Chains A and B, each alone.
Chain A
């Protein structure tokens, strides 16, 4: 997989689509829905953050499982660096979500406790911040990789089951639940979709790009000490 990451074409595509998202995303005609109005444009900047975060977390989980099975250091390097970038996107998603919520749901934080999806995202971020603290407090490399892989799998599985259960108990303020309409209802002329799908692609490839750079830096660190982990 790392070999394909050296290719150039998808990085060019990523930059072009990001420019398109941040350029055309500000001018595209909006359906002008009551309450949302022009804030609906945040769909292009807020939602793809979560797509990118989830993709990176899932990939990291797969690499953690592979580390426990095969025990090769490279899997651990990939898993951690992907999580670092996933956390970055998670924080960005939170900030853009808070801004959006402050215009549509009231103030910056009043919905934080009442909305189950935000709650789930907050728990997820807490778990992965804790993951990095756990890594920081183990010196031995092999042990650090093993223990953090175990924690990451344990936490991810439990969290996901819990997050998928808890929203069934309470209605969310988010679109598509609790009687709220999804965005497909508003997007009658598919203008939103024309920006949204490219935006998702651009964000996820940007996430992969940043994490591939971090992974290559880590590999260089090992090479400096003449350790081949690939």
Chain B
């Protein structure tokens, strides 16, 4: 099959599976709702800005690890073998990354709603925050997609998912937290331009590395 048609076919397959197994995505949603509710109970009245920011990104991080982990882990070796016979490795990893990116965008939009309603919404610079959310969701989705492909080859993949990917995401998280803190401090988009550019570059690098390295990984 040619490249783009097979990417689109794989994306359609993932969407269709998600639609048929609605409990999977609703499970993740409920998980996120529970974390936010616990935070809401703990905060009671007010919360300082740094704490708000850090906990928000931790909510996104843990939602992402649960939502994206299943991308390669749930599909058994036999089914993966079938995909590998009908599509190339680049198409498979790209389709996974795009699909997970879409899932992460929906989930982070919902997280902003829940978190904003329950714990307050101190953001002033909305544009920077939205861009950070977009780039952050992309980075989480692509790193977790690649790591779940790696962890899927090992036996205790659940634990491995977290320990393999969290150290790599610490720099991304640091930049995201900086952007969000600045977006709370003042409505000045120019202050965040450099950080947003770094994040974009990092995203391109992650996806590039995934495309280069996945062909060595996919076959058994």
Tell me the A residues contacting B by CB distance below 8 Å.
Answer: 68, 119, 123, 126-127, 129-130, 133-134, 137-139, 143, 146-147, 149-151, 153-155, 157-159, 161-163, 165-166, 169
Contact = CB atoms under 8 A, between A and B. Distances in A.
Nearest to B167: A126
Given A161-B202, A165-B202, A169-B195, A151 B175 contact: no
Contacts of B174: 166, 169
Interface of B is mostly: helix
Contact of A150 (B150, B154, B166, B206): B150
Given A134-B154, A169-B178, A147 B171 contact: no
Contacts of B34: none
Contacts of B168: 123, 127, 154-155, 158-159, 162
Nearest to B214: A150
Given A134-B164, A153-B213, A154-B146, A123 B170 contact: yes
Given A130-B164, A161-B202, A68 B153 contact: no
Nearest to A163: B171
B121 interface: no
Contacts of A169: 174-175, 178, 195, 198
15 contacts: A68-B216, A130-B164, A134-B154, A150-B150, A154-B146, A154-B168, A154-B210, A158-B205, A158-B206, A159-B171, A162-B171, A165-B202, A166-B174, A166-B175, A169-B198
A143 B220 contact: yes
Contact of B171 (A129, A133, A137, A166): A166
Which among B168, B198, B209 has the highest number of chain A CB atoms within 10 Å?
B168
B155 A137 contact: yes
Contacts of A149: 216
Contacts of B151: 134
Interface string B150-184: 11011110001001101110111011001000000
Contact of B160 (A119, A129, A134): A134
Interface residues on B, range: 20 to 34
Contacts of B143: 158
Contacts of B156: 137
A168 to B, nearest CB: 8
Given A68-B216, A154-B146, A138 B155 contact: yes
B184 to A, nearest CB: 17
Contact of B154 (A137, A157, A158, A161): A137
Given A143-B153, A166-B174, A154 B202 contact: no
Interface string B194-212: 0100100010011001100
B217 interface: yes
A123 B166 CA distance: 9
